[in-house]
Amino acid sequence: AVTTTNANTNANNDDPQPAFPEGITIPNGGAKVILMATSSQRVQTLNSLRSDPTLRGFDDPTPTTSTAAATRPPHNYWGPLHTAQNPTHKFRTLAECPIASFGTRPGSSTPHAFEARRLLERMVLDPGIVAILTSRKLFVNTLGEMDPIDDRVMLKTQHGGGKCLLGYNTNRGLRIDVKLRTEDLRGFRPYEELIGTLIHELSHNWVGEHDV
């Protein structure tokens, strides 16, 4: 709604917050003021709508993925006795690939990033992985999804004799990345292959290079 009115031309010099800056001359006929507002019905309609859970508001300083992971109940991948990691020896955060916008483009056949996160959750709750971290007293800051089209991956593939890089461990557990997706990006690699890669990368927390 838009309304117009005329401001009083008799300015009060004692007003600590004058309507017009000093030096501005108000016309003799008064100054036109335009007031814009939203109807109460439109405000009520807007307030009744549900917010998009994938978007982060200005009043929420934490990343969306961390907030969602902290508030939603754990998935029951491995039965009621395996719904949480060891409280001390664990992966602190999970990170699906945020760069390529997987599964969000029209006609895309690759799984959405949400599905990649669920796969990472299944991996960290795997009883075998939990047992390895607990017995070895390991703490990994981040388990992430490797970007399959990352330039660094392509470079390492070329210098690796044509072998495909499936994962890497940064700074002995600061971050472990696993290549979740197939080469054609149409799906995820077999779970047995993914968990084998994760175990291999975890071993680099206490074993150095491959030729040691």
Q: What digits encode the pLDDT tens for the residues 87-118?
A: 999 999 999 987 767 767 777 788 888 899 99
Q: 68: which 2 tokens? A: 């969602």
Greatest CA separation for the chain: 90
Return the pLDDT at 65.
Answer: 47
Q: Can you tell me the distance from the alpha carbon of 196 to that of 100, in angstroms, rounded to the nearest whole number?
A: 25
The one-digit pLDDT tens for each residue of the chain (212 residues) are 544 445 444 444 566 666 667 777 777 777 677 778 888 888 888 777 766 555 555 554 444 444 444 445 456 788 888 889 999 999 999 999 877 677 677 777 888 888 999 999 999 999 999 999 999 999 999 999 998 776 555 556 555 555 668 888 999 899 999 999 988 888 999 999 999 999 999 999 988 766 55
pTM here is 0.60
* 167 neighbors 195 (Cβ within 8 angstroms): no
Return the pLDDT at 53.
Answer: 54
Closest CA relative to residue 171, chosen from 137, 141, 126, 136? 141
